[in-house]
Amino acid sequence: DQQVKQNSPSLSVQEGRISILNCDYTNSMFDYFLWYKKYPAEGPTFLISISSIKDKNEDGRFTVFLNKSAKHLSLHIVPSQPGDSAVYFCAASGMAGGYQKVTFGTGTKLQVIP
Amino acid sequence: NAGVMQNPRHLVRRRGQEARLRCSPMKGHSHVYWYRQLPEEGLKFMVYLQKENIIDESGMPKERFSAEFPKEGPSILRIQQVVRGDSAAYFCASSPQLDNTEAFFGQGTRLTVV
């Protein structure tokens, strides 16, 4: 049962354009959402997050949008740079078993073409 | 301040052998999480430990897998009698507080079973 879904396994974008990565979730108990970035042979690194009480959070070139009614969030990267090429994991957290448990999606591989 | 350290980075085991994966959390972090990434899949939660306690092992396979986080020393993920299906990247993350939102990941151990 995949509670966090990233339906696009890969995405190619031209340098300078906008990259939009999408994520859907099914569990309405999730109240905090995160994006992680992962380069090959490295561990994931935290990128940006958003609380369920907000619908937008911005950090430089990265913006996360949350649509609670649709159980959908997206990560916008603008302008995209070749160094952004990586796998992006969407994650959602909610209380489970007495702690804030994080569930990850399957990832989207972004390729930014110079 | 060293990050989360995992070793070995690469581990090759023959079917039936034991695999031991080690994780030293960041300094000051007392919460450790183990994840497994199978080829073409996302990060699957395995177990959450605090010092000397297993808090949540709902993601651990029922047999052959065990984890510990002793008072002194690293956290250990042990896989007994490995099979080819155990081949994966195993990531450890740590956090200083109860929930693992924005946890810090190690670089992972890539286990190959031959």
Q: Closest Cα of chain A to B46: distance in Å?
A: 11
Q: Closest Cα of chain B to A22: distance in Å?
A: 15
CB-CB neighbors (< 8 A) of B55 in chain A: 97-99
**Under a CB-based contact definition with an 8 Å cutoff, are residues A41 and A17 in contact?**
no
Backbone angles phi, psi at A82, to 5 degrees: -55, -35
Mean pLDDT across chain B, nearest whole number? 92
Residue B110 has pLDDT above 70, yes or no: yes
Per-residue pLDDT tens digits for A18-47 = 999 999 999 999 999 999 999 998 999 999
Q: Who contacts A105 (Cβ-Cβ below 8 Å, separation ≥6)?
A: A2, A4, A5, A6, A23, A89, A90, A91, B42
Beta-bridge partners for B89: B37, B110
Backbone angles phi, psi at B84, to 5 degrees: -55, -35
Task: Determine the residue type at B110.
Answer: R
Residue A1 has pLDDT above 70, yes or no: no
Per-residue pLDDT tens digits for B30-68 = 899 999 998 778 899 999 999 889 999 999 998 999 999
